[in-house]
Each structure stands twice: as C-alpha cells, then as structure tokens.
C-alpha cells in the first residue's frame, strides 16, 4: 500500500529497542523528553511511552512521509546516543471516520 503522505489517517510508529550495552542517565532522559516536547509543540506527537518490561518504547507521530518520519526518529537523543535502536513503520488507522479504511 502506498504511503498516504499528509493523510490524517496515516501515522508513523517509531519502535525503540534498548541496547543492553548502554545505560541512560538523567541528562539523556531529559534530552529525550525535550525531544518529545518539541514534537508535541510542532503538533507531530500523537503518543509516546516506554514498554512495561523496560525493553524500549514506542512513539507515534504525524509526518509528511516515511523518509521524514525516519529523519525524526534518527534525531531522537536515545537513538543518537545508541541507547536505543529504532525502526519506523507507516501505520494506517482503521476507524469509523474512514469507514474502517473503506471496508466497514
């Protein structure tokens, strides 16, 4: 399925996976939180949080394209410090507003 850039039903999921060889300190965590706050300020942050098992986390964002979402993910201090690794995937929302992707 094609990337529906700019579509309000298209989001990007950044999955963060902990690097077991790295430790986070309070400064790194604050940098990551500042990064999330900036995404929120720009209207791009949909949701974010860690996994309960401590193995990483997930950030859901709005972006114009998959390459833009990948650039955003790569700029996260958790990623630039190698504390976590990331993958980015396009997520197509299925909901009443889009008649469950036209299949409802």
Q: Tell me: the pLDDT tens digits for 41-54?
A: 999 999 999 999 99
Name the residue ranges covered by the structural domains of the chain: 10-102
Edge to edge, the sheet with strand 56-61 lists 45-50, 56-61, 10-18, 84-92
Topology of the domain covering 10-102: Alpha-Beta Plaits (3.30.70)
- Count Cβ neighbours within 10 Å for each residue of 59-98 and write b for 16 or more, e otherwise: bebbbeeeebbbebbeebbbbeeebbebebebeeeeeeee
Residue found under tokens 């396009």: 90
Q: Tell me: the pLDDT tens digits for 10-34?
A: 999 999 999 999 988 999 999 999 9
Query: Which tokens in the block code for residue 5?
Result: 């850039």
How much is the pTM?
0.89
């Amino acid at each position: 399925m094609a990337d529906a850039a700019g579509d309000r039903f298209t989001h990007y999921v950044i999955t963060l996976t902990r690097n077991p060889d790295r430790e986070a300190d309070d400064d790194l965590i604050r940098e990551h939180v500042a990064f999330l706050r900036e995404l929120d300020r720009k209207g791009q942050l949909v949701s974010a949080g860690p996994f309960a098992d401590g193995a990483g986390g997930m950030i859901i964002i709005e972006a114009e394209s998959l390459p833009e979402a990948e650039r955003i993910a790569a700029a996260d201090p958790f990623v630039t410090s190698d504390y976590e690794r990331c993958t980015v995937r396009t997520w197509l929302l299925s909901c009443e507003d889009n008649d469950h992707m036209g299949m409802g």
